[in-house]
Structure 1
Amino acid sequence: MAVLAGALPLHAGAQEPRAAAEITDFRVNDPALMDARAKLLAQAEGELARGEVPAATDTFERAAMMLHAPDTEMGLVRASMQAGQYRRALAFCAHVAGAHLESGPAGGLYAWLLRAGGQNDFADRVLRETLGRLPQDPVALEVRRAFASPAPVATGSLLRTPHRMAPQPLLAGDQPPVAEAARVVSGGVLIGNGTMALVPSAALAPDAAKAIWVRDGLGRATRAHADAAAQPLAPLAVTVLRLDPPLPAEGLPPLAARDPFAGSAGFAFEYAAQEDASPAWPWLSQGFFGTLQNGDAPRRLGIGVAGATHGGPVLDAAGRLAGMVLPGRDEPVMLPASRWADALPGSGQAAGPAAAPQGGAIARPGGAIPSDEAYESGLRTALQLIVLR
């Protein structure tokens, strides 16, 4: 039987999927065009590494007009993440992974974003399907190895572009970079319109620290210091850090007006434990708040957190900052925001304008928000505590 030119052979089902560009986009055979595209991609990656998100997005889109390919589209996904637009990034990454079944990195990045946002089962399914098509893909295999941990850490090939599974390291203001010998020791919560951070006292010995930084989930880091004479939360095992310069306050959630009821839904954020100071996206966990304790005893968190660092923020079902995660004797506990609001004037943040509902959005009772919207707040509120000793 004759085989038409360009048609797949009968045994093609046993082969790895071919790139769509190899089959349908003849521009891939234009060396001059592909050279210009490669230069645009390098320019966009440089802009993204400098935190120039609008410029990087524009450059990635110019490259996308030259070829429909996963590397360009993964760059656009990461640009959205660098801007804190998790919902946009997740939706577009679903397209990238679905339209480019030949790309293991695209499937791996989509699985990583899903799991970061608390959709663990769906993330595992996406990764299984990716490895089912591409069983030897090195990036997908590395994601599977990372997923063996409750709180995965992106290392090695997972930090390469175009599929980098972490934010770029950025600095707030004009300051030296984070020291190479520093490392992440805990999580923290950004409060006070970006001027203060709360961290577990157990993770920080200010007199033994040569330098302290905090970094948010968008990769933005700044220097911090603890004033030993002004620690009103010391009895609660929490240290207050002052940030200089402050981190951006845009997108920070307002403080909850009251403590969440036991059994009500909420979100908790933590970072994975790691041996260096690399930036990372936080891990979201969903669940239901634990019961209140008698007297001043710490409240049971109730939400099973993924990370082991503790110190991250806790949001109520409506996305308001309800507290922070602290290490407990047998399980993590929660320090309600009400406990620090009175003791720390200026710790709240002004509520910004309500976000416009997205097309097809479903009204939820009591103003509850979906997990992907909560994750966008977590990217800005959840901090890595970085210490040089």
Structure 2
Amino acid sequence: MNGFQVTLRNIKKPEVSKVIAVEALNRDQASLLAAREGFRVALVKPLPSSHQRSQTNRPISTKDAIKLFRGLASMLRANISTADALLYYAQGLPDPALQGSLISIRNRLEAGLPVHIAFAKERKFDSTIITMIEAGADAGQLHEAFSSMARKLKVEMMFASKLRNALMVPCLVILFQIVLFIWSQVSVVSQVEGTLKSIRQEPDPLSKVIFSFSHVVQMTWPFFIIALTAFIVGLFRSKELRARLLHFFMSRWRLLTKLVMGLRQTAYVGTLQMLYANGINLARAATLAAKVVQETPIYTPLLTSAQIYESSGLPFAEALKKNAVLDPQVIHMIGIGEKSASLPEQLEMLRDIYEEDTAQTMSDFTQIINFITLAMAMCLIALVFAGAMLPIFLMGPRMMASGAM
């Protein structure tokens, strides 16, 4: 794909123009993509390669992916071909990069490439999405795959938003309180101590402890800020650090363990239900569903369970029991579904149950985080008050007595 900058001029008012960046195979395609009602194409100019790379490498956002998959699913249900659906959806999109990507995918389909390879070559979709597109195409249920992916992404976005809101505000409040505490110890308490020295008053034992603590803070706060900054940067940039911290807190906080496992099992069961309900055999569906949790500790046991089921002939529930990483309820209901030939229905019920339970757990987690934040804020405020005001209150009577004498 090449990048082009297309200049459009208003037909009735030639002095009015607009510039649109699009990605296309050639100038003619760029002109077609940039066409707008009431405007004519005045100039088509190739963009520098650096700009093209920056636009091409940008992944599609979750919101855009949800809209795209919903739109494609509705058009495929109306018996519109995948290539035409991509073309219709691309026309009029405000994002030129996404528009060019969809046209590129359509051109690959027209050239005879399988649909999952056409999407994969664009490098805007993760491996889970590509896997689900492949499975949907194999089952002849591509519209169901698109619809299920839109639902899955929406649920993931909802949980991610709740988790982000649960952590972001408390973290910002704690950081503000830390800055306020350091400022009080370095500046305010130091001024109080200087004031007492200027009037030649000896601080009482409690004030001496407060002043001594302030001296420690004054000597160490730069190192603390450097360490805190390094930790925050490492937290954002290192997956290994995030995984270790998550494992550490999960081993000590049962509610967090329940929340994380609920999210993982919701993703696994939901994907397994979508694949199996749309004609994918259970062994392949289980293998593909395991890829949804590929970067978590439960991936290997789930993949091993799928391989045991495929090679040994054991019931799938029994294979899962040999690598027990899922809740017993999940394994039990899968076993019932296998025995009663109602596995898609049982998986759908489990998916709905875990979505509801995880939403409730998320609410409980948010409330506890808010309480912890409030408690920490109160402690830091108490330290600020003790350092800044308590020595003054304690020394007040002595200062008055000294002035009366």
The bucket for the TM-score relative to the shorter chain is: under 0.3
- Quick check: which one's strand share is greater? 1
Q: Based on CA coordinates, which of the two structures has the bigger radius of gyration?
A: 2
**Bigger relative contact order (CA 8 A; separation at least 6):** 1
TM-score, scaled relative to structure 1 = 0.28
More helix per residue: 2
